[in-house]
A and B are shown apart, each in its own frame.
Chain A
């Protein structure tokens, strides 16, 4: 491959449009919101950028830190469950025959073609008090005469609580975990696995000591690519959560809408952004170290 330094004009011709696009529609609007986070409301429609840190000070009050903490915990649990569920799936797909692979991958990606809102409403009708799951359970209850032993059927509280939020988030974010895992596992030299098995390691040992370390970069990008959007999700907690299921993005939304406090909302969302940047920087650092160690 040619070095871009030797083909400056060609590189410039290709790179100008995307750079401009990024600058105009990503960097500049983001910079404006960033500037808002150092401002205060000046009347109803204008914001004075005064360089104040008051918004950040308020965002770091225990109330908001607690909500940040809860959001991180929810996102982390979601990511962990996605890893536990997604790893075997990715492994299975990587071992499938070439004929089946594209179809299995398609199955994983299929939900992306449906709007998230519609998928969430589908989950609502699945998990509701009179939803499919509860109706099925009620039928089971009646069919096996469990009412005699345990009393009449009580619908399971599957919706409007923290369980529902985690369930919804895992459902939505699973493909984000499976795809990078699959990419990493598929590249894996299968003969290493055979060697490990031949030399007497069991399946579990082979997975933990051979497959997992080799797939580590894929696992880590899967973790990050799942964790970051899960941390910022707000549709799922809004529609499926109970009275205490708010996440930080719900609070941010209310600042920009009802509270009309854009500076504070900007500070909250940038705190989230800083956390994301730190995560990505840590991974980049780790990658560099790994490369240097080679």
Chain B
């Protein structure tokens, strides 16, 4: 997800640059002005034609960067006549902030699992009409009924990820199999980088302590905070989801990262390994949703259905190299992909992994505790 962070940082940068110019500038968000001419409920497209769905042949897709096949959108235009306009967001917070004050005209969005929950709770997502998404049958049964969206009422899985330990094989021996090397040991002093996401860190420490990622209470947070402060001198940096770069550059020998990010780097550097520790880990899944107020809900259903098609999904997966929740795609991708233990960790380890539930009350506690850890 390195591309995401650099985009985000570019954006942040614009703000600090303005500040730097001596003006006490504040970030003004032109939400909805950029990249989406939607919002109008025009039934007819610019050329007066209608899509097969009876709506104007256009669709506004709000997606992560580098998260679609090279020709997917053109192919869809060829197949359906619908013109897809794609805008990009850098992280879930940006997505949420844009839709917070009302949908500026997006038809399909791709929030991660916890934000699916959060947006459903905030009444920002339309329930899906499954009759319009027959390709749901392609989805791997492991993803058809998930805790963050019981019965798949609001979201279709697009990709999934798992957090684990990326490491340099020649410097880290034996192969790590526990979170201990990152969280509770000075064995690799000064050669560790952890993800700077408070929630993810606390939940994974919880996993290390044998707890569910969704069962942490205030006492656990206190205990974990003390553990983090104790471990802090041995940690070189909290990285902004660019851990794979730190690993490749030799800044550190162990990083907490997502499997997809490490898998991309293993192609360039065979000395890099990845493992999901035996205690289990945290799963994430980016999902296709239709936000409330979408100007073209029928096109949105048709587009989601198209993305779940086996061959279309294959094109996307070939481009982005993320684990797919689509059984058909996995079948079509061939053995080299589906037997890759980084992209698809072992089943017995995977069974111990959980999705983090969105919990509005505990997130600020994580953040404050992490602020204390960093200030300590």
Contact = CB atoms under 8 A, between A and B. Distances in A.
Interface of A: 25-26, 29-30, 33, 43-45, 63-64, 66-67, 70, 115-117, 128-130, 159-160, 172-173, 176, 225, 228-229, 232-235, 238-239, 241-244, 246, 251, 253-261, 273, 276
Given A117-B9, A117-B10, A232-B16, 20 more contacts: A45-B124, A64-B371, A116-B16, A129-B250, A160-B236, A176-B20, A232-B19, A235-B13, A235-B16, A243-B232, A243-B235, A243-B237, A243-B238, A243-B374, A246-B371, A254-B367, A257-B93, A259-B363, A259-B364, A261-B364
A159 B235 CA distance: 13
A239 B237 CA distance: 9
A176 B251 contact: no
Contact of B371 (A43, A63, A243): A63
A111 to B, nearest CB: 11
B375 A246 contact: yes
Q: Chain B CB within 10 Å — which of A128, A173, A235, A276 has the most?
A: A235
B118 interface: yes
A258 B363 contact: yes
Contacts of B24: 228, 273, 276
Given A67-B371, A254-B367, A239 B26 contact: no
Shortest Cβ-Cβ A-B pairs, 9 listed: A257-B93, A259-B367, A160-B237, A229-B20, A44-B122, A117-B13, A246-B374, A116-B13, A259-B364
Contacts of B22: 176, 225, 228-229
Contacts of B376: 244
A283 to B, nearest CB: 13
10 contacts: A63-B372, A116-B16, A117-B10, A243-B232, A253-B12, A254-B371, A258-B93, A259-B363, A260-B360, A276-B24
Interface string B43-68: 00000000000000000000000000
A254 B26 contact: no
Q: Chain A CB within 10 Å — which of B9, B17, B20, B118 has the most?
A: B20
Interface in B1-39: 6, 9-10, 12-13, 16-17, 19-20, 22, 24-26, 28
B360 A235 contact: no
Contacts of B91: 257
Nearest to A221: B22
A238 B240 contact: yes
Contacts of B249: 128-130
Q: Decide if the interface of chain B is mainly helix, strand, loop or mixed.
A: helix
Q: Decide if the interface of chain A is mainly helix, strand, loop or mixed.
A: helix
B26 A26 contact: yes
A254 B16 contact: no
A115 B13 contact: yes
A250 B183 CA distance: 23
A260 B118 CA distance: 11
Contacts of A43: 122
B198 interface: yes
Contacts, number: 118
A273 B26 CA distance: 11
B121 interface: yes
B197 A258 contact: yes
Contacts of B236: 160, 242-243
A76 to B, nearest CB: 17
Contacts of B9: 117, 235, 238-239
Contact of A172 (B12, B20, B199, B235): B20
Contacts of B360: 44, 260
A122 to B, nearest CB: 13
A160 B251 contact: yes
Nearest to A272: B24
A24 to B, nearest CB: 10
A16 B65 CA distance: 41
Nearest to B27: A29
A239 to B, nearest CB: 7
A27 B163 CA distance: 43
A124 to B, nearest CB: 9
A60 B316 CA distance: 49
Contacts of A116: 13, 16-17, 20
A244 B232 contact: yes
B223 interface: no
Nearest to B228: A243
B367 A229 contact: no
A81 to B, nearest CB: 17
Nearest to B234: A243
Nearest to B231: A243
Contacts of B222: none
A26 B372 CA distance: 33
Interface in B95-134: 96, 100-101, 118, 121-122, 124
A41 to B, nearest CB: 8
B20 A159 contact: no
A159 B249 CA distance: 13
A149 B368 CA distance: 48
Nearest to A277: B24
Contacts of B124: 45
Nearest to A276: B24
Q: Chain A CB within 10 Å — which of B100, B198, B360, B367 has the most?
A: B367
A65 B22 CA distance: 25
Given A26-B26, A160-B237, A234 B12 contact: yes
B26 A29 contact: yes
A254 to B, nearest CB: 6
Given A172-B20, A243-B237, A276-B24, A235 B12 contact: yes
A173 B13 contact: no
Given A238-B240, A239-B240, A244-B375, A129 B251 contact: yes
A44 B19 CA distance: 29
Q: Chain A CB within 10 Å — which of B118, B121, B199, B371 has the most?
A: B371
Contacts of A44: 118, 121-122, 360
